[in-house]
């Protein structure tokens, strides 16, 4: 039997949602019938709107999709202006202030405290400047990711940006692909470093060479069925297909249609394509694609470059895109560390000014929640690097700062169990001041995810942190599970969850003790990931020794009992927005 979501989608979905959204915007929040909140909130996601968590009724998060993380000249300024004008809410974040933009692990942008009444004006401003929230969420094609400096990167095998642009233009708003069983995440990368992170996507196109009619050509190998969420992580599997750039859209559309027609619509938990690949196997996926969804002969897989992948491997080479890098045209791109991906609206506007002054005005977003200013001439590099803003968004940060990733957390998300962004900032600052890594390690990844949905991609970090709850001294407190040794590369590995439910104030001490063991027992030149692989779970659990330190955590006793983790008022009743009765569908986290 189809799920409630499938029934709601059968009634209204896709582009037609916009008309209803605008009607509600004109009439106001109260016009949305209380007994229809669940269904409308589900539909609104297709246009990039998520209703925020309990206690924040009437406020939405808006996600802006930026394919491959590319913000064309002028677009970053528009984001900053929208954040300053429309994304200031009733609660003030003690670290980040009133208005800010969040850069995500899928190269998108999220704004908070959005009122539905303002959505038409925001959409108009975005669309006048080439930006869109269409399909940024929902059961459809999500924002396409890849190497953010595609077309400029001196290390790329093939320029993937024209392919990504074509896919975005073809499938955004495409009625034939607007209602899929679940989300559809696509990665296209042409770089030799693996920075598209294709292994964790539903569909991945990765650079590969193939001899065709006696001539060696560069195109893409195809992998299907990756993903991280809900303790059901999978790496995308090779389906033995190589595709030329001009045929990527046909193959991508064929696989999207295959998923549309065969994905599980009776059980949303099993609706991702990774489960279909589990059931069918890669060979059947290829055969059905060939027989039913493309009208040309598929090539077998070509020679890939996975042995060159360094991005997020935890070892040598380019683990991220922070710092100064030469472009293929002789100019430079400069990757700036945005700690946990959050930048205040005023800083967004200042960065837009600097991008205009020193570069082409273009800015790009990475999957590590950082920003990249492109097209900086060599003669302007020193002046750019000397700007005051770069003291806060450094191109040469501490390993603990550059490796910190965090999801939205209980600040806004109904699924999250713990506070994340402010906490990871505090963790990173404490570790920077109190813990030393070996001299040859300048990049170290710590990802904090508020729940098992894995929006912070914890399974592919050196140290993975996942939200839980426990009791300490008889009182409920926020806690974290600890996983170790995840990463991508030629031989990707998911983190091993070795220690459970550490009270959040003891986590920095646990990390410090773990890294002391790493330094004391490390073999010559061994990476942290290699060190983890050399020990069993019991040994690693002993290394992760929780300990109280001088680190203090102001949110540890919140356990989601207030309408906002940083509110002075300490109850859900203090919410500035109307709350639902206890028997309402929205009274519990969904």
Are 311 and 346 found together in one domain?
no
Tokens of 224: 């299907």
Are 309 and 380 found together in one domain?
no
Are 356 and 490 found together in one domain?
no
Sequence-ordered list of residues with C-beta below 8 angstroms from that of 300, at least 6 positions apart, any chain: 240, 241, 242
Question: Is 581 a member of any domain?
Answer: no
Per-residue model confidence as pLDDT tens digits over 42-68: 999 999 999 999 899 999 999 999 999
Check residue 578 and give its pLDDT. Answer: 59
Express as a percent the part of the chain with pLDDT over 70: 97
Measured distance CA(584)–CA(35) in Å, rounded = 8
Domain boundary among 521, 544, 567: 544
User: Which CATH number characterizes residue 203's domain?
Assistant: 3.30.413.10
Are 263 and 381 found together in one domain?
no
Question: Is 164 a member of any domain?
Answer: yes
Question: Is 116 a member of any domain?
Answer: no
- Point out the least confidently predicted range of 258-272, 524-538, 567-581: 567-581
Q: In which domain, by residue range, is 461 found?
A: 401-544
Are 355 and 476 found together in one domain?
no
Question: Is 47 a member of any domain?
Answer: no
Question: Is 112 a member of any domain?
Answer: no
pLDDT surpasses 80 at 9:
yes
pLDDT surpasses 50 at 580:
no
Are 387 and 424 found together in one domain?
no
Q: Is the dihedral angle over the CA atoms 15, 137, 349, 332 positive or is it negative?
A: negative
Domain boundary among 379, 397, 415: 397
Are 388 and 268 found together in one domain?
no
Measured distance CA(367)–CA(425) in Å, rounded = 18
- Whole-prediction pTM: 0.95
Termini Cα distance of the chain:
21
Structural domains counted in the chain:
3
Per-residue model confidence as pLDDT tens digits over 335-392: 999 999 999 999 999 999 999 999 999 999 999 999 999 999 999 999 999 999 999 9
Check residue 588 and give its pLDDT. Answer: 28
- Closest alpha carbon to 425 in 398, 405, 395: 405
Are 170 and 311 found together in one domain?
yes
Q: Is the dihedral angle over the CA atoms 15, 167, 447, 431 positive or is it negative?
A: negative
Question: Is 57 a member of any domain?
Answer: no
């Amino acid at each position: 039997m189809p799920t409630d979501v499938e029934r709601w989608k059968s009634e209204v979905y896709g582009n037609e949602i916009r008309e209803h959204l605008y009607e509600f915007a004109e009439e106001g929040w109260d016009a949305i019938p209380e007994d229809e909140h669940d269904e409308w909130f589900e539909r609104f996601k297709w246009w990039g709107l998520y209703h925020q968590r309990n206690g924040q009724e009437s406020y939405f998060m808006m996600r802006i999709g930026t394919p491959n993380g590319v913000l064309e000249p002028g677009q970053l300024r528009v984001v900053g202006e929208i954040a300053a004008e429309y994304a200031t809410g009733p609660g003030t974040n003690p670290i980040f202030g009133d208005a800010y933009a969040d850069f995500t692990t899928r190269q998108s942008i999220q704004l908070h405290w959005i009122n539905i009444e303002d959505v038409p004006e925001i959409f108009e401003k975005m669309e006048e400047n080439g930006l869109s929230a269409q399909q940024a969420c929902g059961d459809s094609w999500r924002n396409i990711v890849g190497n953010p400096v595609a077309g400029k990167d001196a290390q790329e095998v093939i320029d993937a940006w024209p392919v990504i642009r074509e896919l975005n233009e073809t499938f955004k708003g495409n009625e034939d692909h607007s209602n899929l069983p679940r989300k559809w995440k696509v990665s296209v990368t042409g770089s030799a470093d693996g920075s598209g992170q294709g292994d964790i996507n539903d569909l991945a196109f990765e650079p590969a060479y193939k001899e065709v009619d006696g001539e060696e050509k560069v195109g893409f190998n195809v992998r299907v069925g990756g993903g991280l969420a809900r303790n059901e992580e999978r790496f995308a599997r090779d389906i033995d297909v190589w595709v030329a750039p001009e045929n990527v859209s046909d193959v991508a559309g064929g696989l999207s249609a295959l998923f549309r027609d065969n994905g599980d619509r009776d059980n949303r938990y099993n609706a991702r394509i990774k489960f279909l690949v589990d059931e069918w196997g890669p060979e059947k996926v290829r055969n059905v694609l060939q027989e039913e969804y493309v009208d040309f002969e598929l090539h077998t897989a070509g020679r890939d470059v996975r042995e060159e992948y360094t991005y997020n491997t935890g070892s040598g080479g380019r683990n991220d895109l922070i710092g100064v890098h030469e472009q293929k045209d002789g100019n430079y791109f400069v990757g700036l560390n945005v700690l946990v991906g959050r930048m205040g609206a005023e800083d967004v506007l200042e960065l837009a000014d600097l991008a205009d002054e020193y570069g082409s005005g273009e800015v790009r977003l990475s999957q590590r929640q950082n920003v990249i200013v492109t097209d900086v001439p060599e003669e302007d590099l020193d002046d750019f690097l000397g700007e005051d803003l770069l003291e806060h968004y450094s191109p040469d940060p501490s390993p603990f700062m550059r490796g910190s990733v965090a999801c939205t957390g209980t600040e806004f998300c109904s699924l999250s169990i713990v506070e994340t962004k402010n906490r990871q900032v505090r963790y990173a600052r404490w570790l920077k001041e109190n813990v030393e890594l070996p001299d040859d390690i300048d990049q170290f990844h710590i990802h904090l995810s508020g729940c098992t949905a894995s929006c912070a991609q914890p399974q592919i970090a050196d140290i993975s942190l996942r939200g839980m709850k426990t009791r300490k001294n008889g009182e409920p407190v926020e806690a974290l599970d600890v996983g170790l040794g995840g990463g991508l590369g030629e031989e990707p590995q998911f983190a091993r969850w070795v220690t459970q439910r550490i009270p959040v104030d003891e986590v920095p001490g646990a990390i410090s003790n773990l890294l002391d063991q790493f330094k004391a027992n490390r073999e010559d030149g061994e990476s942290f990931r290699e060190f983890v692989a050399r020990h069993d779970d019991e040994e690693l659990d002993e290394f992760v020794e929780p300990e109280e330190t001088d680190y203090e955590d102001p949110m540890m006793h919140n356990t989601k009992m207030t309408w906002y983790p940083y509110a002075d008022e300490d109850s859900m009743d203090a919410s500035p927005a109307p709350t639902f009765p206890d028997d309402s569908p929205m009274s519990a986290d969904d």
